Chains A and B, each alone.
Chain A
Amino acid sequence: MGWETWAITTLSRSLAYGTPLLLGTLGEIYAERSGVLNLGVEGMMIVGAYSAFSIAYITGNPWLGILMAAVIGGAFSLIHAFTSVTLKANQVISGLSLTMLGLGLSGVFGRGWEGKPLPASLPKITISVLSKITFLGPILFEGQNLIVYLTILLVPLLWYILYRTRIGITIRSVGESPATADSLGINVYRVRYLCVFLGGVLAGVAGGYLSVAYRPAWTEGMTAGMGWIVIALTIFAFWNPAYGMLGAYLFAALYHLAFRLQPWVSPELLKAMPYTFAILVLIFVSRGTLLKRMGAPAALALPYTRGEE
């Protein structure tokens, strides 16, 4: 295999693998920006993956599957919103329970669904004119699906909303100083609920993408820790959608490069690579006290009660 083909395959696969990571990260950025740490991403992704697969299997329409993943992912995230925002429970533990519950539910309902073939997976798109562009063409415009592009479009949109609109200011102020936001007449609870819900929808779609597009099949525990990598990427991104995009694709590229070491390194150790990368990446961004504070919402993981500061 020539050098160029090799690079093209790797980068094209990275784009495909980076998409669910990016979707999850974008959602988590919004949730955390509003002050809610949601460690349930892994759980929301896996219920998304299962609902997308089952609906796509029954109806034969993968898009209905993705829609279902969004709905179920969003609904599922509301459990966490309820315990952490309304009941003011510990957000670390609440997020963990969401993950446990998601893995459990998908395991229970997914029994018997393993190995079933999907009648139709998400169609791959090739834009023939653009795919002729040297090098970039085959990476960007050959064999990817619509969600890959929509996710990329989502990045400037969510960045713009967060930094350049009133809605964005509202979200960030709720995450920085809920008491001040409250005194300005902002409904802190509603903002937090909506941001967590958005996180759930995007994580659900990320899971759905995995089971009806990336590798169209259902396997128990198929998200294999991607939801946790999303949490790491959110920190890596300094809670900024643009850096989130950089992080997700960079991570995906490293992941695929590692698998090219197959002839020399045992497959079991290669599987440990992504998790090692995630730790290394966090060490990298945590160096220095200046970077440590950058971007982290001041009220992250702190429940808000009016009149109690």
Chain B
Amino acid sequence: MKRLVSFKVERRPVASGRVVFFVSLLAIFAALMVAGIFFQIYGVSPIRAYQLILRGSLGSRFGLTETVRRAIPLLLCGVGLTVAFRALFWNIGAEGQLLLGAVAAAGVALFTGLPDQLLLPAMFIGGFIGGAAWGLIPAILKVKLGVNDVITTLMMNYIAIYIVEWLIHGPWKGPSMRGFAYTDTFPRAAWLPTIYGTRIHWPTLVLGLVLAALMYILVTRTRSGFEIRVIGENPDAARFAGINPLKTTLLVMLISGGFAGLAGVGEVAGIHQRLLGPSHISMGYGYTAIIVAWLARRNPLAVIVTSFLFGVIMTGGDVIRVSLGLPFQLINVFNGLILFFLIGSEILLRYRISFLLRR
């Protein structure tokens, strides 16, 4: 039998913004379709589940504000990761960098005795330094010794987790928190202001939006941004062009680690007002931010949109648990699937498939 339709696959020169947008949308849609199977397994209609998730995360004032407050750390970590990923530095360590930022902020809040008006700025500076320091170690190890960045950044997440555990069980355990593994509550001056009646600590949100814009300018309009891209796309060309790999790598990890550190400051100063268990400080924001940055196609401005989207998904996790009684871990399944479909669909950006009708 002769085929009536044949198709031709050819390389696409550059995918336009519109194609990228629709392919991304298609990927997310496909991932949600597959994820729907899990609702089906638990006897919940996927359509009803997604309705509940959307209503719960966007349809009420409470849901919407929860979505935004979860988008804040994703925004900060995600913007930083777009810069690191542009240089092809595989920073899988935003989670640990966030925790170290939280530790530094807690240290400043509890033990420096700074005057009230200086306390919050000092916490943000400390948090940036904490996160950046945690990110610079793998950067130096990679450039100077050729140590694999994926492993070091990841291992340092675990080390960060246990440092926080150690601090809250040991030296920093609050005397007034008998029995609980917390530090003492921060002094009032170290609490970030929130939008009335919500948990949105707006100074961190504003900071994230400003930094997203600044990073967009950095990567698209400056020489450093150009160097970052060359290092990522063609290390040999970078060497010939005299680009200093150490300087560039340190810069991207200063940014990436530092921003994750700022996210950590926001979480402890804006939500919890104390240092507590690592899984309470961050619900895997550092890992989810990897998807946020990748979905944004490494564009810092697009992170504003993608971090909000993943805020919806994380708040959806609460809906799944509370309204449907299903495990919160489904969120990880969603995330894994979305990431798979996302990178799997990238082939559609590189190739064009055209169908030809035979007469």
Contacts and interface: CB of A to CB of B under 8 A. Distances in A.
**Which 6 pairs, one residue from A and one from B, show the smallest C-beta to C-beta distance?**
A104-B332, A101-B336, A107-B329, A104-B333, A268-B166, A100-B336
B343 interface: yes
Given A79-B340, A89-B343, A108-B327, A272 B333 contact: no
A148 interface: no
Contacts of A231: 148, 150-151
Given A272-B162, A286-B145, A100 B335 contact: yes
B306 interface: no
A177 B326 CA distance: 48
A282 B149 CA distance: 10
A87 B344 contact: yes
Interface string B133-177: 000000001000111101110111011011101100110000000
Interface string A221-261: 00001001001100100000000000000000000000000
Nearest to B167: A268
Interface in B323-349: 326-327, 329-337, 339-340, 343-344, 346-347
Interface in A264-309: 266, 268-269, 271-272, 275-276, 278-279, 282-283, 286-287, 289, 292
B166 A279 contact: no
B294 interface: yes
A292 B141 CA distance: 13
B38 A286 contact: no
Interface in B191-229: none
A34 interface: no
B343 A97 contact: yes
Contacts of A79: 340
A180 interface: no
A268 B170 contact: yes
Interface in A61-107: 79, 82-83, 87-90, 92-94, 96-105, 107
- Sorting the interface of chain B by its residue count into under 10, 10 to 19, 20 to 34 or 35 or more gives 35 or more
B159 A89 contact: no
A83 B339 CA distance: 11
A107 B337 CA distance: 15
Nearest to A101: B336
B310 interface: no
B169 A275 contact: no
A111 B332 CA distance: 14
A107 B344 contact: no
B85 to A, nearest CB: 9
B92 interface: yes
Interface string A119-158: 0000000000000000000000000000000000000000
A179 to B, nearest CB: 18
A108 B331 CA distance: 9
A108 B141 contact: no
A45 to B, nearest CB: 15
A39 interface: yes
B186 interface: no
A269 B166 contact: yes
Given A104-B331, A104-B332, A225-B154, 16 more contacts: A82-B344, A87-B344, A87-B347, A89-B346, A92-B150, A93-B339, A97-B343, A100-B339, A101-B337, A104-B336, A231-B151, A266-B169, A272-B159, A272-B161, A278-B151, A279-B155
Contacts of A82: 344
A87 B329 CA distance: 27
A102 B150 CA distance: 18
B294 A275 contact: no
10 contacts: A83-B344, A87-B344, A101-B333, A103-B329, A103-B332, A108-B327, A235-B148, A268-B165, A269-B166, A275-B159
A275 B343 contact: no
A108 to B, nearest CB: 5
A275 B332 contact: no
B339 A232 contact: no
A96 B141 contact: no
A192 B326 CA distance: 37
Interface of A: 39, 43, 79, 82-83, 87-90, 92-94, 96-105, 107-108, 111, 220, 225, 228, 231-232, 235, 266, 268-269, 271-272, 275-276, 278-279, 282-283, 286-287, 289, 292
Interface of B: 38, 90, 92, 141, 145-148, 150-152, 154-156, 158-159, 161-163, 165-166, 169-170, 287, 290, 294, 326-327, 329-337, 339-340, 343-344, 346-347
Contacts of B344: 82-83, 87, 89
A97 B155 contact: no
B29 to A, nearest CB: 17
Nearest to B35: A104
A232 B159 contact: no
A94 B151 contact: no
A108 B38 contact: yes
A100 B336 CA distance: 5
Contacts of B90: 92
Given A96-B92, A268-B169, A287-B145, A90 B159 contact: no
Contacts of B166: 266, 268-269, 272
Nearest to A99: B336
B329 A111 contact: yes
B214 to A, nearest CB: 26
B340 A232 contact: no
Given A268-B162, A278-B155, A282-B148, A108 B329 contact: yes
A279 B151 contact: yes
B351 to A, nearest CB: 10
A102 B148 CA distance: 23
Given A39-B150, A88-B347, A96-B92, A269 B333 contact: no
A232 B155 contact: yes
A96 B147 CA distance: 19
A232 B38 CA distance: 34
A292 B329 CA distance: 39
A111 B162 contact: no
